[in-house]
Structure 1
Amino acid sequence: MAPRFRWKDPEGVRTITLIVKKIIPQWKDGLYPWQLKLVVRILDGGDIFCCIATGGGKSALFGVPIIVLKEMARNPDLYPDLPGRLLPVGLVITPTKGLAANIVWSILVSYTHMNFMQVLELRKLDVPAFAYCHETVTEARIAGRNLVHEIRDCKTWNIICVDPEHLREKVWRQISAFDVFRANIVYGCADEAHLINTWGAEFRPQFRHIGAFFNGCLSSSISVMALSATVQPSAALNSICSSLGMSGDNFYLFRSSNEHQNVQFIMEPLTHGVGGKIFPQLLAYLNSGRKTVIHCRTIDDVLRIFLYLWKSLPPGPHRLRRLKMYHSLRSAKENEEILRLLDEDPECQVIFATVAFANGLNAKSLLDSLSVGCADTVDQIVQEKGWVGRDLETAARGVVFYQPCSLTAAETQLAGSSAVASSRAKKTTSKRTKKPKPLEHAKVLLLTEKHCYNACLNRIYQNPPLKITTLDCITAKRRYPCSLCAARNGISTDFPTPSLPRGITLPLFSHPLEVSSPAPLDKTLKLTKKEREEAESTLVRFGNTVYRAEHKLPANRSRPKSAYFPSSIRSSLLDNLLSLNSLAKLEGLVEPWHFSRDYRVRLYVVVHNLFSTISAQRERARLDKNAKQRATRKAKKKATDWDGSEEEEEEEESELESSSEEEVDEDRRSSPIPPSPKRSRRVLEEVTNASRSPPTRALRKPAQRAVGKPVQRAPRKRLEKAIEVSQSYSNPYRTSRRRAAQNS
């Protein structure tokens, strides 16, 4: 039989209000009006799209419906006849494991302003949640539990958080096809829905299939929700709605302003590159002692900034408590512990985080957000700045340190956007040239803004009411003006330093002194790769000898094996091996070594032997190289002499021919008898060849190779010079001057 009332009826609204006040007395005012309106639609199976500021209360939308339905299932006689579920369950699609764990831990806590100990009391609400991820699945398999049966029976958990990649597995098709699960599921929620566009394009394409799972595998009577704080209107909104199957009037869109009135938005150009090793601009903000998150683009950036700030603090164990890293390479438990310490430990001040921290994680104690490098999208920038100042009474700061090259690229793109047609007509670039990826248009507008950053962001997101939100900070009377308005009006804002418990002081950060790098060693004193490997193996064997001799002594039983001959000592010896020509120099290097007093002499013997061996090897290699070079020079010289003799023969032959021609010309001029006619080349060859036998050359015997000896060829017969060949021929055609005179 169909229920008598629907949740949108007055009876349904009153029931929701009554149950919330009964189950969650911490919410003295109950739900916000917009929350109540959306919860009613969810319980009636309507689709909703909620866009509201980070920390505004979105997460209550997937917690309150479960609480209401569970209370009605426990006490059906106390409430009107309304649609319900016996074992209500909700499905939340989360982008990161950290967000899923955060939802599981602090469900319905984000809006009660509780501390960590108060979270424990929330278990009395009896809304168990489960994060379905690699770690939890592995733990269940080790324990022999069947997660598929536990989820589909709807008896163990009421909220299931899962990422889009696991949603495509076969087990989830089995779960969604089970009758009990289909009858009790209340909604399917896409949390941080703006990532469907940004991550679904290339980074994680499975985000594009969330809507297909909701509409194809779940019951049509459930509510489909999309929650986000940063969805730009028009194109971005339409793309997400199309992916989730929301179109026309079949869903309800609720949009509120995502501006944070208690956060000052600041943009500063970086004075040092993102890829560098020093970041002095951070120190002024961190020395205020405020809880801070530093957003980095990559894990490599996290490590370099962490090392810089580590060196900026004085030595001591306080550095381990004050600086923490939060990223995907750490386990979920470690990341959860960091969030807990951030809220509870007064000495835990700075968290270094990647993009995972900016999407839905909740840490109420954060007051400052520093982004080193500008994010790829404005959505990501707003997300990063949205998780500070969760208490509206506090003063928070959101700082973006952007690269100057990003500003230049934005200005170029903005200037060239009006001339796109003409640039296409005059396109001359090569097809092989890879064009840089254009910046997001909203990011271009933000980087090139010259009047007010807050007004620019409000125009991008169309935050209502536009008549007020698009005004500059001074005209709109904002509590904390942006950096542009503050600089233009000469306003400086003081942000208070939070009080610390008695006896706790935080040392100030100071730019570390630049340590001059040691003078580079002479190339002749550096070991080659092969020499270093051989020397290192010898030193390792020496270290093993020390270990075998010392590890059984009572004083060394708890000493690790690596401490008997540390790798740092070994590396230092290898770097300076060829310069250790005395025991005194060796003692200076091995002074920190625990066993140097007993083994330094024996170590010097090993080092000296290595030095002698490497020096001898290098001397042999030098002699071999010199011999090779001498042989090469000798061969080149011999080849050059042979070429010179041939050139001389050619010159002598050419001179002889020229002199004979001159004599013939003189005879022609002096003799009255005309010269005899020239014979043809063929006749000359017959005559000359008849008077001269062809030269014979001794046959060359094949050289026999001797084992281990180079092949020796027979000496080459000397060729006759041109003048010798010419004299062997008789010249019956030439008339000498004397004979010519006698004939005359």
Structure 2
Amino acid sequence: MAKEVNLTEELKRNFGFDTFKGNQEAIIRNLLAGKDTFVLMPTGGGKSLCYQLPSLILDGTAIVISPLIALMKNQVDAMRNFSAEDGVAHFINSSLNKTAIDQVKTDILSGKTKLLYVAPESLTKEENIDFLKQVNVSFYAVDEAHCISEWGHDFRPEYRRIRPIINEIGVRPVIALTATATPKVQHDIQKNLGMLEATVFKSSFNRPNLYYEVRPKTANIDKDIIKYIKSQEGKSGIIYCLSRKKVEELAELLQVNGIRALPYHAGMDSATRTQNQDAFLLEKIDVIVATIAFGMGIDKPDVRYVIHYDIPKSLEGYYQETGRAGRDGGEGQCITFYINKDLQKLEKFMQGKPIAEQEIGKQLLLETAAYAESSLCRRKI
């Protein structure tokens, strides 16, 4: 069946694009042919299209497992914009009440819904498993697949239950997608999802429009940052801090200095978070000060700088955070303030954790330190 489809026409009709990016088309053909597919593609490379388009072409409903509630909502809204039918895409997660979930189920069973986003913790619920057994599933997409691996920068134990649940609901092709995976993480993902035979697609991770710089972190860091932002008049930027407290303080300090900035972290109530995120996307503010909770699925193409107030816990996480700069192909400045003392602080944080986790954490920190202290071209590293 897959052979007959004119993918470029489908792309144009459903999403308004004339051409595919990178290896999107090859990935989609592989999935349409019913093969397991592993996709390693940098942030901004167009990962979501790799499962959105096939879901519209194939019979049944594709199930996308994603850990990010904000991202689900963004993507579902985007899919509905393209379609005349609101039921074309849905999500099930902890933010929905029973009535809303019943509506979703009705739409799915009536065959309207092509794409269903599910949070991993919702997928493991007995009643959802029982429901999904009645559904004609076209394929499963596991987004942010690095969450499966303890070596990934965002390990989530519930991700390790995905394969047994797929086996229970009904085996169909699986596409796993991630923007960051070392060989170790990749193997872990494939093994855990039972897809060692999958076709693997890797895209280049070099983004020549991004400029990387590490600056010494001194007592004047706040002044340095204010000065830098003022030199970037009217441009959008993100500043990452490790602690929520620092996020609040810095956002306030920037405001006092006449900079349009707002905070964003997981401790804020979700209405305020959404409001602040929208203010950034709609350019009512220039700077968002955030913990790493921000930015998963934030698709603002013209972020011109990403500043790290504190050294990140891993290079992988750092690559993802800085990858939010310059997605439109324009310049992106990635500046990190580094002092060795911050590393010691991070090591302290790890002390209460299981030994295995501490070992992994230490390895990752060593890589970050090597990056910060190196004299080589940082993009090469």
- Alignment CA distance shift 1:267-1:198 (3 Å): farther
Name which of 35, 52, 55 aligns with 2:41: 52
Which amino acid is the alignment partner of residue 198 of structure 2? F
Deviations 1:564-611 (CA, angstroms, capped at 9, x unpaired): xxxxxxxxxxxxxxxxxxxxxxxxxxxxxxxxxxxxxxxxxxxxxxxx
Instruction: Give matches, 1:663-742, under 5 Å.
Output: none
* Aligned residue number for residue 226 of structure 1: 176
Deviation, structure 1 residue 444 = 4.1
Distance in 2 of aligned mates of 1:285 and 1:299: 22
Any idea what SS the aligned residue of 1:373 has?
A: coil
* Aligned residue number for residue 599 of structure 1: none
Distance in 2 of aligned mates of 1:329 and 1:408: 25
Name which of 225, 237, 240 aligns with 1:282: 225
Deviation, structure 1 residue 351 = 0.8
* Aligned residue number for residue 242 of structure 2: 297
Q: Is the 8 A contact 1:91 1:161 kept in 2?
A: yes
Distance in 2 of aligned mates of 1:127 and 1:37: 28
Deviations 1:673-704 (CA, angstroms, capped at 9, x unpaired): xxxxxxxxxxxxxxxxxxxxxxxxxxxxxxxx
Q: Does 1:238 align with 2:229?
A: no
- Alignment CA distance shift 1:451-1:103 (3 Å): same
Deviation, structure 1 residue 400 = 1.7
Higher relative contact order (CA 8 A, sep 6+): 2
Q: Is the 8 A contact 2:56 2:114 kept in 1?
A: no
- Alignment CA distance shift 1:309-1:448 (3 Å): same
Give structure 2 stretches of 5+ with no counterpart: 347-357
Q: Is the 8 A contact 1:50 1:253 kept in 2?
A: yes
Which amino acid is the alignment partner of residue 179 of structure 2? A
- Alignment CA distance shift 1:442-1:199 (3 Å): closer
Deviations 1:190-249 (CA, angstroms, capped at 9, x unpaired): 1111222258899632122223322x22332x221111111112x2211111111121xx
TM-score normalised by structure 2 residue count: 0.86
- Alignment CA distance shift 1:17-1:175 (3 Å): same
Q: Does 1:391 align with 2:328?
A: yes
Give structure 1 stretches of 5+ with no counterpart: 1-5, 70-84, 108-119, 314-318, 411-433, 457-744
Instruction: Give matches, 1:403-442, under 5 Å.
Output: 403-405=339-341, 438-440=362-364, 441-442=366-367
TM-score normalised by structure 1 residue count: 0.46
- Alignment CA distance shift 1:333-1:224 (3 Å): farther
Q: Is the 8 A contact 2:215 2:336 kept in 1?
A: yes
From the CA coordinates, give the structure whose radius of gyration is larger.
1
Name which of 85, 89, 92 aligns with 2:64: 92
Name which of 316, 331, 342 aligns with 2:280: 342
* Aligned residue number for residue 209 of structure 2: 262
Distance in 1 of aligned mates of 2:272 and 2:343: 37
Q: Is the 8 A contact 1:176 1:217 kept in 2?
A: no
* Aligned residue number for residue 400 of structure 1: 336
Q: Is the 8 A contact 2:146 2:155 kept in 1?
A: no
Any idea what SS the aligned residue of 1:272 has?
A: coil
Q: Is the 8 A contact 1:148 1:171 kept in 2?
A: no
Q: Is the 8 A contact 2:237 2:305 kept in 1?
A: yes
Distance in 1 of aligned mates of 2:153 and 2:210: 31
Question: 1 or 2, which has the higher strand percentage?
Answer: 2
Any idea what SS the aligned residue of 2:95 has?
A: helix
Name which of 6, 12, 22 aligns with 1:21: 12
Any idea what SS the aligned residue of 1:64 has?
A: helix
Deviation, structure 1 residue 63 = 1.0
* Aligned residue number for residue 163 of structure 1: 119
Any idea what SS the aligned residue of 1:267 has?
A: strand
Deviation, structure 1 residue 156 = 4.8
Q: Is the 8 A contact 1:191 1:227 kept in 2?
A: yes
Q: Does 1:207 align with 2:159?
A: yes
Deviation, structure 1 residue 151 = 6.1
- Alignment CA distance shift 1:203-1:48 (3 Å): closer
Deviations 1:430-485 (CA, angstroms, capped at 9, x unpaired): xxxx99962415324323322211111xxxxxxxxxxxxxxxxxxxxxxxxxxxxx
Q: Is the 8 A contact 1:89 1:154 kept in 2?
A: no
Which amino acid is the alignment partner of residue 224 of structure 1? V
Name which of 367, 372, 376 aligns with 1:451: 376
Q: Is the 8 A contact 1:292 1:369 kept in 2?
A: yes
* Aligned residue number for residue 352 of structure 2: none
* Aligned residue number for residue 102 of structure 2: 146
* Aligned residue number for residue 131 of structure 1: 91
Q: How many residue pairs get matched?
A: 367
Q: Is the 8 A contact 1:50 1:226 kept in 2?
A: yes
Q: Does 1:326 align with 2:264?
A: yes
**CA RMSD, 1 decimal:** 3.0
Distance in 1 of aligned mates of 2:153 and 2:307: 27
Q: Is the 8 A contact 1:98 1:332 kept in 2?
A: no
Deviation, structure 1 residue 265 = 1.1
Distance in 1 of aligned mates of 2:110 and 2:211: 45
- Alignment CA distance shift 1:67-1:174 (3 Å): same
Which amino acid is the alignment partner of residue 285 of structure 1? Y
- Alignment CA distance shift 1:22-1:156 (3 Å): closer
Q: Is the 8 A contact 1:192 1:359 kept in 2?
A: no
Deviation, structure 1 residue 380 = 0.6
Deviations 1:289-320 (CA, angstroms, capped at 9, x unpaired): 2111111223222112122223323xxxxx7x
- Alignment CA distance shift 1:409-1:174 (3 Å): closer
Distance in 2 of aligned mates of 1:229 and 1:436: 20
Deviations 1:491-519 (CA, angstroms, capped at 9, x unpaired): xxxxxxxxxxxxxxxxxxxxxxxxxxxxx
- Alignment CA distance shift 1:338-1:104 (3 Å): farther
Distance in 2 of aligned mates of 1:204 and 1:44: 30
Deviation, structure 1 residue 359 = 2.5
Q: State the identity %.
A: 23
Which amino acid is the alignment partner of residue 236 of structure 1? V
* Aligned residue number for residue 640 of structure 1: none
Deviations 1:5-31 (CA, angstroms, capped at 9, x unpaired): x42x4x34xx2233223344x312x22
Which amino acid is the alignment partner of residue 51 of structure 2? F
Deviations 1:261-285 (CA, angstroms, capped at 9, x unpaired): 2111111221139xxxx72221122
Distance in 2 of aligned mates of 1:97 and 1:305: 26
Distance in 1 of aligned mates of 2:211 and 2:359: 36
* Aligned residue number for residue 190 of structure 1: 142
Q: Is the 8 A contact 1:291 1:365 kept in 2?
A: yes
Q: Is the 8 A contact 2:265 2:294 kept in 1?
A: yes
- Bigger shift: 399-408 or 358-367? 399-408
Deviation, structure 1 residue 325 = 2.2
* Aligned residue number for residue 519 of structure 1: none
Q: Is the 8 A contact 1:269 1:404 kept in 2?
A: no
Deviation, structure 1 residue 367 = 1.4
* Aligned residue number for residue 176 of structure 1: 132
Q: Is the 8 A contact 2:87 2:107 kept in 1?
A: no
